Structure 1
Amino acid sequence: MHLLPAPLSLAQPAAAGAFALTPGTPLSAAPGAEGVTAWLRAELGAATGLPLLPAVAGDGAGDGSGIRLALDDALEAEGYRLTVDADGVRLDGGSAAGLFWGAQTLRQLLGADAYRRSPLRREDGEGWALPHVTVLDAPRFGWRGVLLDVARHFLPKADVLRYVDLLAAHKLNVLHLHLTDDQGWRVEIARYPRLTEVGSWRDRSMVGFRDGNRRDDRPHGGFYTQDDLREIVAYAAARQVTVVPEIDIPGHSQAAIAAYPELGNHDVVDTAQLRTFTDWGINPNVLNVEDATLRFYENVLTEVLEIFPSTFVHLGGDECPKEQWRASASAQARIKQEGLADEDELQSWFIRHFDRWLAARGRRLIGWDEILEGGLAAGAAVSSWRGYTGGIAAAQAGHDVVMCPEEHVYLDHRESGSPDEPVPVGYVRTLEDVYRFEPLPPELRQDAEAARHVIGTQANLWAEFMDDVRAVDYHAFPRLAAFAEVAWSDLPREPAARDYAGFAARMETHRARLDALGVEYRPADGPHPWQRRPGVLGRPNDATPEG
């Protein structure tokens, strides 16, 4: 039936049949299923034109002859059971999340037009039917994430909400919002208004990689108000997606330093002259380690926690050059005061401070694998991006890990070696390459205790070379669909044993769903002319990816 991601099991009766939806088909919710039922009624009602009203007692439809959603605590929390037969449709979930993922499967079974926002050629509601089938399903990983980098190139709120829907349609359940970086600060902080007044925009942007020496000389900016972010969080929660904010410290912080120069290493550089960074790449201007800077970010995070209820808060911790700290009398005094060995331990001290601060408020810190350097904070989790090595070490030490190695699931990387690829970056990662990505490397598959600490996996969409949502679509899809199957489905652990041909056949069907959703994905035979960026220099890596 070309479901994607593939379910754990699917069974059809020997005699094929279908349950037809009509203007009289009821859609009803048992206690606890009301929210998902309302979502399903709205989505399918818009696409089909059918009212799908609740069953009314005594009309003969309340005993299962329509579509009925219910909870079943015998199922896994995110698991579901979908049964379609001549009597109707029964969808049971272990929780509201399980029901929601089952509802997404039901939607797929109706065909690509079920993803449209208005009926096509079916004004009377006829022609909609679900095949007789029983689907039993549950995800492999609890964290099935996607990072959207809205700091390098801002995405308006409407585009973020659209991506929440796209994640949910693929049974992905974490939206990691990269909200701050050298090139932009995107979250309103009431206590520190200059973060958005100054830090949310830059006067120009690099076009392509720095060796091309091109600038667009066009101001770029934008930020989300706190109410915007509350709306995004609530919208996502209704679709079983958790929004994890990232406030990057102590590196990748020039936008904040431009707004508040006292945050930088002002005993080394004239931080008052710094502006929001206009280039890409690693930046030497990092936060200082003074008490006032700790208090500043505690105040920032206090407001962030009021907006985002997620258990995890991402604090970056990556790509923090130490040169300014080595030259800073203030930083060296801190190293001596705290009895630290070097600047690596100074960064660890900085991160551990906020690990304790978050833990005291019932939250957990997660950061990029550089936070392992100098000693990992006790309660911190690791996003393993520099290959598998950091994730393996963290898991073996008892720390939770989200596997997102750049060689495999950085979807800003190019999909082919063709010169037509727009701003070619990183490794060649084809649709098949992503489908054969395995989050658990052999070292962890042989260690059951460590493997339990791999709580999930994530694909990252870094936006230095993606300046609008059309470019994000091109890089994300269809590879994000392959990643979704890796994160959800019980695929063979050995990548070579996976049925890519079967996936590719299902992907042909899925492209019609993406068309209906308005996704401007990369065609199988290469980019459309308007998706190319001729003459814009990228940063290709021709090495063979590890793993």
Structure 2
Amino acid sequence: MRKYSISLMLCTGVLFTANAQKIASNLNSKEIGVQWGLVENSYKGMPKYLSAFVFTNTSTKEIPAKGWSIYFNLPRGIDTTFEQKDFKVEHINGDLNRIKPTANFKGIAPGQSVRFEMIANDWSLNSADAPSGLYLVFDNEPNKGIPLTNYKILPSTEIRQLTRTAGDILPVSTADVVYNTNKAIADIQAEKLIKIFPTPVDYQEKPGSFNLKSDVTIVTDPAFKKDAAYLSAELQKVVGKKPIISPAAKTNSIQLRLGNMANEAYQLNVGTEGIVITAATSIGMFYGIQSLKSLLPAQSWAFVQKSIAVPAVEVKDAPRFAWRAFMLDVARNFQPKSEILKTLDLLALYKINVFHFHLTEDEGWRIEIPGLPELTEIGGKRGHRDFDKAQLPPSFGSGPDNNSSGSGYYTKADFIEILKYATERHIRVIPEIEGPGHARAAIISMQVRYDRLLKAGKKEEAENYLLRAINDKSEHHSVQGWNDNVMDVSMPSTYKFLAKVVDELVLMYKEAGAQLETIHMGGDEVPAGSWAKSPAFAKIKQENSAIKTTDDLWYYFYENVNQLLKTYNLYLYGWEEVGLRKTRVDAQKITIPNPDFANQNIHLDVWNNVIGWGSEDLAYKLANAGYKVVLSPVSNLYFDMSYTKSFDEQGYYWGGFVDVDKLFSFIPLDYLKNMKQDRMGNKLPATFQNDKEKLTDVGKSNIVGIQGLLFSETITSTERMEYMILPKLLGLAERAWAKNPEWATEKDEVKAESLYSQSWSQFINVVSKRELPRLNYYAGGFKYRIPTPGVIAENGTVKANVQLPGFAIRYTTNGLTPTVKSPLYKGPITEKGSIKLSVFDGIGRSSRVEEIKNN
């Protein structure tokens, strides 16, 4: 799931104070200038980087020498042993850190700047790696955090800053690298493109079109009354009023007919006199309607149309995978209900039928559970004041006040509304309740509940849902830096808590009339040391002979959770670790598929195929061993991975860089085939696959589908969310729905590459000329990513191209940023001097600017 490193050590200096008590009330934080920049990666040949803060006092007062602290978030851990004269750095918990001046610090005089260098483990590549959420706290006002808003992150531009290690040969996505990559994309005329997306199994265009107007009638079989009502409402958005629904056949109609075919299959016939959609089920009919919507020109969604020419086609279609999923993390950073509903509309349009709702984490609990108000009152908000008593601490740059995307939750009514909305669109919502790790929001919330009830003299009630033993002296350090984020699975109260949460979720689904087959129960990244010194573990070890080590507690926990879900007729779903067992071979500790849980319909999200880590084939091993596998590999399907290796592309990259081509090129049942290089850009040896496990026929039957995932550590707004989702989601939709492409099975490597190149050009032309223009308007419009132009200076001219054919490139030669009124790039630019170029979509949004000198 979430394997970014936490080993970054930051030794920062922050400079303030002489008499903090006197100036705390009138200090203007904007008069404290802060800059941070990377100096170099691979510092002194080590897997560390050097960076520096510069603090500037722009006020008329001296910044005092003591009496203050600076808090900040960093997605890696701090090495507090790094010696520095003027400051000490403390790790608070998670990614929250604090800098305090030592007795040696003398303060900062007005107009003075001070530079402090830092050494950190691993590397820093883009702005997501920078310290964030800086705020100042004075000792005499410990509950008041003052945001430091005059903060600038300096861009990295040098090779030593944009290269992680000596072995990092992956090129930076400079304008010329982008240009050479884009050259492989053919510009295909729009009329030659398939007009339904994702690509149908069988598609034939016919002469003519159907003239769709507001007077069209929907004629439906009784089985499709709900789908007819949905279609009528959708057409109202484009033709201005709801078409009449009638049971009798008419001309100038859209007919919804009952037929004999597979569950999600449909047939669509558009002729000059009318439209016929045939399906055996409501869900098949729904997908036929989505394909009909796909036929409509993008501008249909911009404003009400008097008439729309719907191209005449014959389509027979059905999905390749029954499980076509998108996972959204709203726990690290929250998304409002309106954005969730909008996202469900997007998923429905592209025939994604599973919404994996990642609702709980260390940093947030986002769903109201009746009877446990602390889960949202404490676990649903973040801020500095009384954190871990009144709220959770700031994380991921959320700042000192609980008014950012770090705070928020869905009420019971909100969640039921989301469930109903999804059900109307044939989308199953799978809630995720993380455990036993990644559970700090729940643990702290239940600790606050315990303290409240204990104070009221209700000890037994207080202990009912406690998730951590009071006298547990165990020490652990999670990948994300938490030292107290694991439920104690030795305690009966942990299972009472989970039973309460499951029971309330089941009731919400029942009230919403929504299907519930499973609840995702986590299972990811429990750190070593958990439970080792727990008194509850000591007790259960005496009582249960099967439990000898903390490793045994893992299997004990998931057996109990599995049985809990079975009482509700639900199956267990979790991250890959749920299906793994620790054992030894020749005294070496290894993990293998756990035979105890195999062949029990346990579903696993298998994410770890990081190229070079050694588990590239883990999904296939687990499927072959009898687990139901949802392919969720980080190297291809993690939407939160940065698009490209560029300082300006926010996002993580621990598992590689993921642009839309990584999703399109994914071969679900043979993804090892096109693994060509590791995450550092090094070519894999010819023997790479020799010791990797291939899918057996049994294993293939256990691959239930594929899933794209968006974790939200860097997703602090709806705009950023949409940027990271689109156009990646279109690659996911194509690979989940469309049939296995020829290039994926072709054994001749040269021929396979040629077939892939043709297929990629077709796909990206459909994306750029049909789907993204539609998404400018659909469901209120989406702020998808517009890629930067590829640019190269050659023979006295400047040449440019773009990943998305049909998008406009505009440029200036006067030093100004291009606008929609700037000259349109039509061919090589001969003007001399500094040329600035941007890519524009059809409504005037633009990419970042590329600048090049033409001498």
The equivalent residue for 2:225 is: 34
List per-residue Cα deviations over 1:434-465 (Å, max 9, x = no partner).
11012223678752221111111100000011
For 2:266 and 2:481, the matched residues in 1 are separated by 44
User: Is the counterpart of residue 75 in structure 1 residue 281 in structure 2?
Assistant: no
How big is the alpha-carbon RMSD for the aligned residues of Structure 1 and Structure 2? 2.6
Residue 264 of structure 1 deviates from its aligned partner by 1.5
Aligned to 2:234: 43
After superposition, the Cα gap between the structure-2 partners of 1:146 and 1:170, relative to the gap in structure 1 and judged at 3 Å, is: same
| Residue 159 in structure 1 maps to residue 339 in structure 2 | yes
Pick aligned residue for 1:399 from 623, 627, 634? 627
Q: Which residue of 1 aligns with 2:588?
A: none
- Aligned to 2:356, the other structure's residue is in SS state strand
Equivalent position to 1:330, from 518, 523, 536? 536
Note closer, same or farther for the CA distance 1:531–1:373 as it changes in structure 2 (3 Å cut).
farther
Alignment of 1:454-493 (within 5 A): 454-492=703-741, 493=744
2:697 is the alignment partner of 1:448: yes
SS in 2 for 1:33: helix
| Amino acid paired to 1:66 | S
**Deviation at 1:216?**
2.6
* Residue of structure 2 aligned with 1:21, choices 189, 203, 212: 212
- Deviations for 1:248-269, whole angstroms, at most 9, x for unmatched residues? 0111111111111231143225
Structure 2 contact 204–314 (Cα < 8 Å) conserved: yes
Structure 2 Cα separation of the partners of residues 44 and 23 of structure 1: 8
Q: Measured at CA, do residues 468 and 507 of structure 1 come closer, stay the same or move farther in structure 2, by a change above 3 Å?
A: same
| Cα drift, residue 394 of structure 1 | 2.2
Q: CA deviation at 1:491?
A: 2.8
**What code does the residue aligned with 1:88 have?**
G
Which one is further off, 436-445 or 170-179?
436-445
1:422 to 647, 650, 660: 650
Cα pair 1:325 1:332 within 8 Å, conserved:
no
Q: 1:386 aligns with which of 605, 608, 628?
A: 608
Q: CA deviation at 1:531?
A: 8.6
Q: Which residue of 2 aligns with 1:545?
A: none
Shift of 1:466: 0.3
Aligned length: 509
Give secondary structure in 1 for the equivalent of 2:245: coil
1:411·1:476 contact (CA, 8 Å) conserved in 2? yes
For 1:211-230, list aligned pairs within 5 A. 216-219=399-402, 220-230=406-416
Correspondence 1:318 to 2:527: no
The answer (yes or no) to whether the contact 1:415–1:421 under 8 Å persists in 2 is: yes
Distance in 1 between residues matched to 2:247 and 2:325, nearest whole Å: 40
Contact 1:83 1:90 in 2 (8 A): yes
Superposition map of 1:75-474 within 5 A: 75-116=261-302, 118-119=303-304, 122=305, 125-126=306-307, 128-203=308-383, 216-219=399-402, 220-261=406-447, 262-269=466-473, 280=480, 284-289=484-489, 290-308=491-509, 309-338=515-544, 339-374=546-581, 375=594, 377=597, 378-387=600-609, 389-426=617-654, 427-441=656-670, 446-474=695-723
Q: 1:150 to 1:531 in 2, by over 3 A?
A: farther
> Which structure has the highest strand share of the two?
2
* C-alpha distance in structure 2 between counterparts of 1:389 and 1:265, whole Å: 38
1:392-413 CA deviation, whole Å, 9 max, x = no partner? 2221122211010111111000
Q: Determine the C-alpha separation between the residues in 2 that align with 1:516 and 1:96.
A: 27
Counterpart-to-counterpart distance in 1, 2:517 and 2:625: 21
Distance change (3 Å), C-alpha of 1:270 and 1:345: closer
Contact kept in structure 2, 1:26 and 1:54, CA below 8 Å: yes
Q: Tell me the amino acid that sits aligned with residue 276 of structure 2.
A: R
| Same amino acid, percent of matched pairs | 30
What's the CA shift for 1:322?
3.6
Q: Secondary structure at the match of 1:307?
A: helix
The structure with the greater share of residues assigned to helix is: 1
Letter in 2 for 1:312: T
Match of 1:500 in 2: 760
- Measured at CA, do residues 4 and 341 of structure 1 come closer, stay the same or move farther in structure 2, by a change above 3 Å? farther
Contact map agreement 2:220 2:247 (CA 8 A) in 1? no
Partner of 1:544: none
Once structures 1 and 2 are overlaid, which stretch shifts more, 178-187 or 375-384? 375-384
Which whole-Å CA distance do the structure 2 matches of 1:232 and 1:334 have between them? 41
Task: List per-residue Cα deviations over 1:261-315 (Å, max 9, x = no partner).
Answer: 23114322599xxxxx9x9556542111211211121111111122233212100
- Amino acid of the structure 2 residue aligned with 1:268: D
C-alpha contact (below 8 Å) 1:474/1:531 kept by paired residues? no
1:245 counterpart SS class: strand
Q: For structure 1, which runs of at least 5 residues remain unmatched after alignment?
A: 209-213, 272-276, 533-547
Q: Which runs of 5+ in 2 are unaligned?
A: 1-193, 385-392, 448-465, 510-514, 582-593, 610-615, 673-691, 746-751, 790-837, 840-844, 849-855
- TM-score, normalization: structure 2? 0.57
Say which SS state the counterpart of residue 530 (structure 2) adopts: helix
Measure how far apart 1:363 and its partner are. 0.7
For CA contacts below 8 A with separation 6 or more, give which structure has more relative contact order.
1
Seen in structure 2, the aligned counterparts of structure 1 residues 21 and 379 have a Cα distance that, compared at 3 Å, is: closer
Cα deviation for residue 26 of structure 1 reads 0.8
2:657 partner amino acid: V
1:10 matched to 2:271? The reply is no
Q: Structure 1 residues 79, 56: closer, same or farther in 2, change over 3 A?
A: closer
Structure number with greater Rg is: 2
